[in-house]
Structure 1
Amino acid sequence: MTRQVRDVNGRLWTVHGTLEWRTPATEDDFEHDVAAGYVPGIVMIILIITLGIVLISWMPGGVVVPGWLILLLVMAVLFFPARWALRRPWKLVAETGDDGEGEPVEKWVGTVRGYFTARSEVAKIAKSITQDTQPSYEGVIKPLS
């Protein structure tokens, strides 16, 4: 998700977003940043699979399971992984210029949660750059010092 945008002064800005696999730690999240790792998730998946196998193996032979029930169970199992994937944080960056060493002269960075939110924010940033000389200060991205 990359866009090239020109501001009113003619400078070329690059606005892009990248998916972050880990949630960035901020001072607001400090007290809650005590993740136990991946072990609890793996234990829960093994437990669910084990219980599903036990349920199917103890089912009497004459029971007919309707197709809509199987579809409903598959959708329920896939809901949380799909929600997790769609709610990953995205790092948004708007940068312009070159100082001769490949580094941008001006760089703005911010983080949003979710693919669709990231897409709309990139569009808002691009629009504010075309109407002004830089991104809006009210947006999610802030200038780096």
Structure 2
Amino acid sequence: MNEIMPYVFAILTGIFTTVEATVNAQLGRIVTPKIATLHSLFVGLLVMLIANILNGTLGQYSKVSNVEFQWLIGGIFGALIIYLMTLTIPKLGVTITLTIVITSQILSSFYIDTFILKQQQLELTKIIGAFLVVMGLYFIMDK
């Protein structure tokens, strides 16, 4: 059962990403994209604060001060992701926006795993898979 949980979590992450992007884009239409981003991050902060308090893990936050700077800037990317999706979805729609996002995630993660972290080998089958992902994007965007 434990072997399947990472796959379940990945599927849920995909679903939650779609729902979050849709909700934030709709909120951004009512208020502004920047306010929608701020609200999303504030609600997320409250949820994670409560979760850490309930789990008794909030004290571990003090370890953050001992971490190298480059591992502390993830929140910048998180804010930009929410903001840019809030701007993009009203213009391109959820499907095209997230297909572009997912394609760019796959290609950039393939590059990072292969050339930076060296956790994967560069293989023809993986190159073909990346090409097929790009072709999928092309077909989704084709008018």
TM tier, smaller: under 0.3
Higher relative contact order (CA 8 A, sep 6+): 1
Q: Quick check: which one's helix share is greater?
A: 2
Q: If each structure's strand is expressed as a fraction of its own residues, which one has the higher value? A: 1
Query: Rg: which structure is higher?
Result: 1
